[in-house]
Structure 1
Amino acid sequence: MEYVLVLCIGCIAGIVTGLIGASGVMVVVPAFIILGYTTSDAIGASLFIDTIASLVVAWTYYQNKNLNLKQGIWITIGSVSGAQIGSFISPFIPEVGLSSAFSIFLVITAVLFWFRGAKVGVPNLNGNDANPQQSRILKLLRSNVIVSSLLLGILVGIISGLFGAGGGVMILLILVFVMQYSMHEGIGTSTLIMAFTAASGTIGHAITSNLPLKASIFGAIGTVIGGRFAAKLANKVNEKVLSKVMGGVFVALAVIMLATTGINN
């Protein structure tokens, strides 16, 4: 029965990745913890499942000519390196601290999705921003794209290794705001980069024995089904409504995780 539930969890995670290019970590980690896995094991499983989901979704976007890794390669290099750092740090963080930190991560992600839903569209990149300070920051980041991409990639990778996220949302923001990708191309490319990042984190967790392999495989099977189906429907989804709904779901998951941590302690 447990593995049937894991299969369903993987399917839902794949749908999340396929529809909005986000990591399935928001679904996998809380669900695995509720099933009785430790936070570190749940994160390891999430990274494994995320790797498969991202590859399936990226392939679908590639078939629709919405993938461009040429400029995103530097983010990939940085994120793969950072994921190793995060994966080795993760087991040394106390269980309660890791769960609480992950809950905060969920809330932050929820806010990003909510405002993304409230303000859908390609951002203004012409330097006429209402916020001059934001424009200066963007210009600074674009002044040396390689260095900026490497540093931002390392940061994304560390967060990925710590919390089990492939970093899809953060990578998407870098591609769209810094590298000026279109939204569809940004989603397709970010999911492929996310696959490399998650794979790196998975290896790190496997080395530290925080990877429940059997459960991860069942979850990965589910994510292939959900990810492929959802990616094909991605262009038909109302992004504004979906983003707000997902924001609410992430907040609910954060509350559940905090409540679960409190009960277990």
Structure 2
Amino acid sequence: MDVIQVAILIGIGALLGFASGVTGISAVHLVVAILFLLPMFALAILPSLGTSLLVDVIGAGAVVCLYFRHKNVDFKVGLMMGLIAFSFAIMGASIAIAIGLSSEYLLVGGLGIFQILIGLTFIVRGYRKKESEESHLMEKSRLAIWLENKPDSYKKLILIVASIMLGLIGGLFGAGGGFAITFLLVFLLGFESHKAVGTACLVMLFTAAGAFLIYTAGAFIIHGVLYVNLEYGLIIGAACILGAFFGTQFAHHLSEKHLTIALGVIILVFGVFMILPK
């Protein structure tokens, strides 16, 4: 590995960590795009996904610690969703590996399109909502207000179903699902964006860990190979920690409106990366 490759990997990690610190976005959106699409790396799709999951674990762990310092992690919600997502991420990753040889482009392309739609939704919501001059909190969605008057059982059911779906999707696409979890917490449960990002990263940590377990230990036991490039993953992950620190500081100086728009822009840009032809 030459100096240029190392520099690019460090740059990816720093940018990724910054994005994760601001939005809780999954590593797969940038790591897979670079490792899979650029000729200088040219990893197959499964090792690219496995490497992105390693970065997810490192980056999400760093972001959770940083957001915890600002008391912006809801451990009750995060641990419940995380443990459920962990179990179903194992299932999703197993399915992804089984079909990966024939449909990896479809999986990555589908993730990119879904990401673009989510990004556009965040941007539109950010521009339409007004901020409270006193609290600087975003107005809650109608669904979030409706849920406030419902029994806790309704909210728990939504969280359980969402955790199952996010775990499966995270395993299938090799993504921790941070952007989808943030979307859920903001639009369904009315979390303010800072706490949504911190909690989403906690869930992403569990989701990525479950899928990564299959891409490494599971793949080695069944196929005799590790679907991960440890060298690339550790370099990106180390730079990701530094980027996450600055991203978290940046996020906590943003208003709710600006942070929501930032969520959408970063998600949208990474979505375009994912649908670019190789």
Unmatched segments (≥5 aa) in structure 1: 129-134, 261-265
1:123 offset after TM fit, Å?
2.9
Asked if 1:255 is matched to 2:258, the reply is no
Partner of 2:259: 239
For residues 85-234 of structure 1, the aligned pairs below 5 Å read 85-95=91-101, 97-120=103-126, 121-125=138-142, 143-207=153-217, 208=219, 209-234=226-251
Aligned match of 1:74: 80
Q: Is the 8 A contact 1:54 1:194 kept in 2?
A: yes
1:40 aligns with 2:40: no
Amino acid at match of 1:203: L
2:223 match: none
Residue 222 of structure 1 aligns with an amino acid whose one-letter code is A
Q: CA-to-partner distance for each residue in 1:56-115, whole Å, 9 max, x for gaps?
A: 111111111111111333211210011101111112224462222212211211221122
Provide the secondary structure at the position in 1 that maps to 2:233.
helix
Taking structure 1 as reference, are residues 9 and 122 closer, same or farther at Cα in structure 2, changes over 3 Å only? same
Could you tell me how far 1:127 is from its partner in structure 2? Answer: 7.1
- What is aligned with 1:263? none
Q: Determine if the alignment matches structure 1 residue 61 to structure 2 residue 71.
A: no
State the one-letter code of the partner of 2:24: G
Contact 1:11 1:225 in 2 (8 A): yes
CA contact 2:141–2:188 (8 Å) conserved in 1: no
Unaligned runs of 5+ in 2: 127-137, 220-225
Q: Calculate the TM-score normalised by the size of structure 2.
A: 0.81
Distance 1:202 1:247, change over 3 A: closer
1:10–1:221 Cα contact (<8 Å) kept: yes
In structure 2, do the counterparts of structure 1 residues 118 and 211 end up closer, same or farther at CA, with 3 Å as the change threshold? same
Residue of 48, 57, 66 corresponding to 1:51: 57
Write the letter of the residue equivalent to 1:193: V
**Structure 1 residue 8: Cα displacement:** 1.9
- Tell me if structure 1 keeps the 8 A contact 2:27–2:52: yes
TM-score, with structure 1 as normaliser: 0.85
Equivalent pairs counted in the alignment come to 251
How has the CA–CA distance of structure 1 residues 71 and 245 changed in structure 2, closer, same or farther, with 3 Å as cutoff? closer
**Contact 2:25-2:178 at 8 Å conserved across structures:** yes
For 1:14 and 1:141, the matched residues in 2 are separated by 37
Q: 1:195, CA displacement in angstroms? A: 1.0
**What percent of counterpart residues are identical?**
23
Question: What CA distance in whole angstroms lies between the structure 2 residues aligned with 1:251 and 1:177?
Answer: 20
The one-letter code of the counterpart of 2:154 is N
Distance between the aligned counterparts of 1:148 and 1:241, measured in 2? 25
Closer/same/farther in 2, CA of residues 240 and 151 from structure 1, 3 Å limit: closer
Provide the rounded CA distance (Å) in 1 between the counterparts of 2:268 and 2:102: 23
